[in-house]
Every structure is written in structure tokens, then in C-alpha cells.
Amino acid sequence: MGKTKMTPEEMSAKLDAVLATHKGEGQKALMSTLQQAQGIYGYLPLPVQKKVAEALDLSVAEVYGVISFYSFFSLKPKGETVFTVCLGTACYVKGAQALLEKIEESIGVSSGDVTKDGKYSISACRCVGACGLAPVILVNEDVYGRLTPEELPAIIAKYKEAD
């Protein structure tokens, strides 16, 4: 997800449209509403949580409780470019840890963090279901498989140039 090019007003309008479709549906619509909201904003800041709570007739605590339970929901914005290293078993056995360390070293932050300028973030995930290509990393939505640490600098450079 991560990247959006919308203005705050556009995002807000889009969220309102989503909320209108779920109005009053209560708890059972919470997960999908949050998924759609995060699709718009890239993460779930407090004002968004409040709007969701209001639309679904829930308390903010209930909404927060669900957000904090599921790792897919994020309370922090991600970088504009997100490097995700698969640490599923198939990838781990094929050396994914070394890939992660190499990416951390060249971006300069550790997994779970965002660079100060907000441009890059690194995260680890568990199996994207492309184990046949292990080890696998994702840069935003692009999948790179059968990787060796030696191939990483070229890939990282590609996204750094793109700025």
C-alpha cells in the first residue's frame, strides 16, 4: 500500500464515501471499513479512527482494540517506498535474513522503521505465498524472487533513482 498521491481533502472525501456505505452496520463491518480506510491513508491515524467509530456506532476504544490486534493495520505512516522482506520459512531457509540485514544496512534504518525524511521504510512479513521464488522481497508491490544479497544494490538503486 504505502503510496498515495491524493490531497488530504481528496482522502477525506473518499473516506466519507466509504463510511457512508457502512453507516450503522456496527462491529461486523469494522474490519472491512478499516481495510478500506487504510487503503486510502496508508495508515490509521486517530482522526480516521474517530470517524470510523462514529460511523459504525462503536467506541474509539473498540476500534483501537481491533487495530492494535491485527498486524496489517498500521498506526504509523510507512515510507513512500516500502521494502518488505519475506521471513516465511521457505525464504528464511534460503537466506532471507541476510537480505534483510543488507537492506537495513543500505537504507540505514532497521526493520519496522521509516527513514527520517519519510522516504523509505523496511518491514518483514511472513510468506507472501510466492515460496517457489524464495527468497522473496517486495518493493512496494513489485516482487523480486530468487535473490542473492549481491543483487540487492542494483534493485535498491533503481528505487532511489526514481525519486
- Interface ranges with ligand FES (CB under 6 A): 86, 88-91, 127-131, 134, 136
Stretch of 47-55, 75-83, 87-95, 113-121 contacting other proteins, by CB under 8 A: 87-95
148 binds other proteins (CB under 8 A): no
Residue 35 contact partner, candidates ligand FES, other proteins, none, CB within 5 to 8 A by sort of partner: other proteins
Give the nearer residue to other proteins in terms of CB position, either 81 or 84.
84
DSSP code at position 65: H
Cβ burial, residue 67 (10 Å; 0-12/13-18/19+) = buried
Residue 158 contact partner, candidates other proteins, ligand FES, none, CB within 5 to 8 A by sort of partner: none
Q: Residue 25's Cα: distance from chain center in Å?
A: 26
**Helix 96-107 to helix 152-161 angle, to the nearest 10 degrees?**
40
Q: What distances in angstroms separate CA 48 from CA 30, 63, 162, one per listed residue?
A: 13, 10, 31
Binding mask of the shown chain, residues 35 to 64, with x at each position contacting other proteins by CB under 8 A: x-----------------------------
Residues 6+ apart with CB under 8 A from 106: 152, 153, 156
Residues 113-132 that bind other proteins (CB under 8 A): 125-132
94 binds other proteins (CB under 8 A): yes
34 binds other proteins (CB under 8 A): yes
* CB neighbours of residue 28 within 10 Å: 9
Strand partners, 139: 83, 142
C-alpha cell at 102: 543488507
Give the nearer residue to other proteins in terms of CB position, either 143 or 157.
143
* Contact positions vs other proteins (CB under 8 A): 26-32, 34-35, 65-66, 69-73, 87-94, 125-134, 136, 142-143, 145-146
